[in-house]
Amino acid sequence: MEILAIIPARGGSKGLKNKNILPLSGHPLIAYSIKAGLDSNRINRVIVSTDSKEIADVAKTYGAEIPFMRPAEFAQDMSTDMEVFIHALNELKENENYVPDIIVQLRPTSPVRFVNEIDFCIDKLIANEAADSLRVVTPAPCNPYKMWIVNDSNEIMQPLLTLQNVKEPYNEPRQRLPKVYWQVGILDVIKMNTILEKKSLSGDVIVSHIVPNEFSIDIDDINSFTKAAEVISKNHCVKFDG
């Protein structure tokens, strides 16, 4: 079973400049995702897809492969993960005749990970023949059944969601509403056939892996850097000695 980890890391971060290589407890942010992939007992290769030479140089220093550079057309604000993955897989197939069985996406902006959890999620997907992918989720901070869409022209509201057999879910106690989860960037595990045949990074049958809110940190500002450093220091997750 050939398992490839892809770390997407473009250079044009708008919210926090150069965030993928900003230091987190003394090491570049992207280094935590690279180390997570390298420390896994199930992942065979760890590559970084980037358009930035600076990110590529840092990634190589921490042990990732950079078998190609990502074209600028796939490194725009609105570029999709699918475009990035198809480009990466095509490059590997054409230049190395390399075709993995499982793809693991490790987004650099979610640095809090546990190696045993990565391997568990990979095995969990492999064991489920009907599943197309696995996605990590966490309990949602807000219930979408109490959310609204507001018409810009007349300010009239409509509920975002309806619920079968419940007339006004937005007026129901929270405890009576379905438990909902928020997807996070810690880990995606995807079968190759899902990408090639279904043209999707998730497919139709998505297995869940639920993590506590405290570990679902997405780096997008300096405050989240501080929070991530604190969580990493207090837990036996992927981190660097010293």
> May I ask the CATH class of domain 3-136+182-234?
alpha beta
The pLDDT of residue 36: 98
* Residue ranges, CATH 3.90.550.10, the chain: 3-136+182-234
- Say if residue 16's pLDDT is above 60: yes
- Give the span between the Cα atoms of 210 and 147, in whole angstroms: 23
158-173 pLDDT, tens per residue? 999 999 999 999 999 9
- Say if residue 242's pLDDT is above 60: no
φ and ψ at 203, to 5 degrees?
A: 80, -160
Mean pLDDT, residues 2-30 = 89
Q: What's the mean pLDDT when you consider all of the chain? A: 93
83-98 pLDDT, tens per residue? 999 999 999 999 999 9
171-209 pLDDT, tens per residue? 999 889 999 999 999 999 999 999 999 999 999 999 999
The pLDDT of residue 14: 64
The pLDDT of residue 212: 95
Report strand pairing: 148-150 vs 157-159.
antiparallel
- Give the span between the Cα atoms of 33 and 50, in whole angstroms: 14
The pLDDT of residue 135: 97
Contact 36, 118 (CB under 8 A): yes
- Give the span between the Cα atoms of 82 and 88, in whole angstroms: 10
74-131 pLDDT, tens per residue? 777 777 889 999 999 999 999 999 999 999 999 999 999 999 999 999 999 999 999 9
Report strand pairing: 206-210 vs 133-139.
parallel
Distances (CA, A) of 214 to 146, 180, 228: 23, 17, 9
The pLDDT of residue 157: 96
Adjacent-strand bridge partners of 157: 150
